[in-house]
Chains A and B, each alone.
Chain A
């Protein structure tokens, strides 16, 4: 390591001034343990700032020293005083065991202990109530989050649709329901520039198990496969295969899952002419 460059970076100054980040602090402490020259420079900076601080003294009032030292205890180290406490406790425990049988021990319950018990019961009740409130709030929060994400999806869907309906490049082909399913209604959006076709399923019965809707376009009198409709078609815009520019009509039939090479005419649900 280039210790000279490290020293010249000024990080040691900043360390002593106390303006380094915790990571830099650790780094300086680690490196000064490894490299004596870094440690030496660190000591120099510290010593010079220390001397500087010593030039800027302001003597506190004389009585302050006595006040402070009156609060300090030099007789016994802290560790020993803890031992002492334990000893006292041991003695108390032994004393309790020495009470002879038969002697009535009157149990004294001071007021504070009763208040403490009452307080802890109240606290427990409050704790339970708070926990209940919290879980209810959480549930509500989750519900709200779900509603929110649903709303967002709906908004996104509407936005996409609106922008396509407005876009003059998109040709809108309405496919009303045929006899089989008069209430069905699907709109194909055909981008005249790219020939991309998107479907907006406004109403279509759910496909029975094992079956799937398939989109067709009619080109020069023959049906051309335009791809399968996603089973979960409600409330979204479906991207289909690009169409032949000469398409004259679009139709949707119900086919076996995965689709058929040719449409089953009896199972045609909607049809729309360009």
Chain B
């Protein structure tokens, strides 16, 4: 588990990654692969393919770490983009649209995944789920995890674009409060 390994600050971690340091990449994998894999699974909905895409995405992260610019944002945001885009590309190359086939199934899965593998205590997760009201949570998940645009969410769920935007904003405010960030 990541908690057992030396804890890098984000700056040190990035520095070591750019030096192509194996221990840093192992730490990176141990710490973030779960979150990235979860996103890939949500986009692909095919566990076997998700493993291939996870592999591609992590190798991409390794190869292009030199182009990561901390001034533009946090490391995780950058990695999440790589993982999400790899997954969306994989779905498109199969000829289907990412997460477009059945929205109700999509929502069900989002709910299932929400309670999947709590990394902190169950109590915390429950509090989180309570904090984010379901109708907002679904929107955040679709946009942040699955790479929908707000317009697509609005169309698919038949909710006005303005409502989609304001619900996502409120959800992010809640998250900031919840995490005391």
Contacts and interface: CB of A to CB of B under 8 A. Distances in A.
Contact of B55 (A10, A50, A53, A68): A68
Interface residues on A, range: 35 or more
Nearest to A15: B73
Interface in B71-104: 71-74, 76-77, 80-81, 84
B175 A48 contact: yes
A49 interface: yes
Contacts of A1: none
B176 A56 contact: no
Given A10-B165, A19-B149, A55 B29 contact: no
A44 interface: yes
B143 A19 contact: yes
Contacts of B43: none
A84 B72 CA distance: 34
B20 A61 contact: no
Interface residues of B, number: 56
Contacts of B51: 60-61, 64
Contact of A44 (B80, B84, B181): B181
Given A29-B72, A59-B34, A18 B81 contact: yes
Given A33-B71, A52-B140, A56-B116, A72 B33 contact: no
B29 A13 contact: no
A241 B55 CA distance: 82
A82 interface: no
A58 B37 contact: yes
Contacts of B150: 14, 19
A31 to B, nearest CB: 12
B35 A54 contact: yes
Nearest to A10: B169
A65 B71 CA distance: 29
Contacts of A64: 33, 51, 54-55
A57 interface: yes
B128 to A, nearest CB: 6
Nearest to B172: A13
B45 to A, nearest CB: 12
Contacts of B55: 64, 67-68, 71
A55 B73 contact: no
Contact of A53 (B59, B118, B144): B144
A48 B176 contact: yes
A68 B54 CA distance: 9
Contacts of B33: 59-60, 64-65
Interface of B: 20-22, 25-26, 29-30, 33-35, 37-39, 41, 50-51, 54-55, 58-59, 62, 71-74, 76-77, 80-81, 84, 113-114, 116-120, 124-125, 128, 140, 143-145, 147, 149-150, 165, 168-169, 172, 175-176, 178-179, 181
9 contacts: A10-B169, A14-B150, A32-B71, A43-B74, A51-B181, A55-B128, A59-B37, A60-B37, A60-B51
